[in-house]
Structure 1
Amino acid sequence: MMHQHGIGGWMAKRRLKSPDKVALVHGDGARMTYGQFADATDRISAVLRQRGVGKGDAVAYLGENSPEFLQVMFGAAQLGAVFVPVNTRLAPPEIAHVLTDCGARLLVHDPEFATRVAAAVPAAQPPHVVVTGEGSADRPGLAQLARSTAADPAGHADTGHQDPAAIIYTSGTTGRAKGAVLTHGNLTWVALNCVVDYDVVSTDVALMISPLFHVASLGMGALPVILKGATMVLEKGFEPGRALAQIERHGVTMLSGVPTTYQLMADHPDWASTDLSTLAKLTCGGSAVPPRILNAYEARGLSFSQGYGMTEASPGATSLPPTMTRTKQGSVGLPHFFTDVRITDVNGEPAPTGSIGEIEIAGPNVFPGYHGLAEATADAFTPDGWFRSGDLGYLDEDGYLHISGRLKDMIISGGENIYPPEIEQLLGELDGVTGAAVIGVPDERWGEVPWAIVTVRPGASVDVDTVRAYLDGKLARYKLPKNVVIVDDLPRTASGKVRKADLRARFGA
Structure 2
Amino acid sequence: MRNQGIGSWTARRARMSPDSVAVVSDGREWTYGQLHRRSTMFAHALAKLDVASGDRVAYLGPNHGNFLEVLFGAGQLGAIFVPLNARLTPDELAYILDDSGTTVLVHSPAHAAAAGALREVVPHVFDFDAYENLLAAAPDDPLDEPVDQEDVAVIMYTSGTTGRPKGASLSHANIHWNSFNLLIDVDVAGDEVTLVNAPMFHVAALNQTVLPTLLKGGTVVLMAAFDPVRTLELIAERRVTYLFGVPAMFQAIAATPAWADADLSSVRTMICGGAPVPESVITTYQRRGLTFLQGYGLTESAPSALFLRAAESTRKVGSAGTPCFFTDVRVVDAAGADVAPGVPGEVILHGPNVMPGYWDKPAETAAVLSADGWLRTGDLAVVDDEGFLYIRDRIKDLIISGGENIYPAEVEDAIHQHPAVADCAVIGVADERWGEVGRAVVVVREGQAVDPVELRDFLTSRIAKYKVPASVVFAGALPRTASGKLLKSRLRATYGDG
Could you tell me how far apart the structure 2 residues matched to 1:201 and 1:281 are? Answer: 11
CA contact (8 A) 1:294 1:303 kept: no
Matches within 5 A, 1:149-188: 149-154=138-143, 156-188=144-176
Residue aligning to 2:242 = 254
Distance 1:27 1:112 in 2: 14
1:60-459 aligned within 5 A: 60-122=58-120, 124=121, 126-132=122-128, 135=129, 141-154=130-143, 156-459=144-447
3-state SS of paired residue (1:402): strand
Separation in structure 2 between the aligned mates of residue 448 and residue 508 of structure 1, nearest angstrom:
11
User: Residue 7 of structure 1 aligns with which residue?
Assistant: 6
2:311 and 2:449 mapped to 1: Cα distance?
Answer: 54
Q: Tell whether 2:26 aligns with 1:23.
A: no
The residue identity in structure 2 corresponding to 1:5 is Q
1:344-396 deviations in Å (ceiling 9; x for gaps): 21112222333211110010100000111111111111243201111111222
Give the match for residue 138 of structure 1. none
Secondary structure at 1:105 match in 2: strand
RMSD: 1.3
Looking at structure 2, the residues matched to 182 and 421 of structure 1 have their Cα atoms a distance apart, in angstroms, of 25
Q: What's the CA shift for 1:405?
A: 1.1
Deviations 1:206-244 (A, max 9, x none): 000001111111111111001101111111011111110
TM-score by length of 1: 0.95
Residue range with higher mean Cα deviation, 301-310 or 253-262: 301-310
The structural deviation recorded for 1:491 is 1.9
User: What SS does the corresponding residue of 1:300 show, helix, strand or coil?
Assistant: coil
Q: Distance in 1 between matches of 2:277 and 2:365?
A: 32
CA contact (8 A) 2:296 2:307 kept: yes
Query: 1:8, 1:77 within 8 Å by CA — same for their partners in 2?
Result: yes
CA distance in structure 2 between the aligned counterparts of 1:98 and 1:435, rounded to whole angstroms? 27
Q: Work out the CA distance in 1 between the residues paired with 2:457 and 2:478.
A: 23
Map of 2:479 onto structure 1: 491
Deviates more, 1:348-357 or 1:450-459: 348-357
Distance 1:441 1:173 in 2: 18
**Equivalent residues of 2:192, 2:218 under 8 A apart:** yes
Q: Which residue identity does 1:109 align to in structure 2?
A: H
**Which digits, 9 at most, give the CA deviation of each residue in 1:461-502, with x for residues without a partner?**
122212112211211100001111001121223332222122
Shift of 1:145: 2.1
Measured against aligned partners, the alpha-carbon deviations of 1:314-342 in whole angstroms (never above 9, x if no partner) come to 11211112332332222111111111101
Unaligned runs of 5+ in 2: none
Provide the C-alpha distance between the structure 2 equivalents of 1:60 and 1:32, rounded to a whole number of angstroms.
21
Length-normalised TM-score, structure 2 = 0.97
Does the 8 A contact of 1:304 with 1:321 survive in 2?
A: no
Structure 1 unpaired stretches of 5+:
136-140
Name the residue aligned to 2:34. 36
Amino acid at match of 1:63: G
Structure 2 counterpart of 1:52, from 50, 53, 56 = 50
The CA deviation string for residues 166-190 of structure 1, in whole angstroms up to 9 with x for no partner, is: 1000001111000110000001111
In 1, the alpha carbon distance for the partners of 2:451 and 2:32 equals: 54
Specify the code of the residue in structure 2 equivalent to 1:131: D
Letter in 2 for 1:366: V
In 2: Cα distance, 1:173 partner to 1:316 partner: 22
Task: Decide whether aligned partners of structure 1 residues 323 and 494 sit closer, same or farther in structure 2, where only a CA change above 3 A counts.
Answer: farther
Q: Is the 8 A contact 1:464 1:482 kept in 2?
A: no
Q: Kindly report structure 1 stretches of 4+ aligned residues shifted beyond 4 Å.
A: none
Instruction: Give yes or no for contact 1:14–1:34 (8 Å, CA) kept in 2.
Output: yes
Alignment length (residue pairs): 497
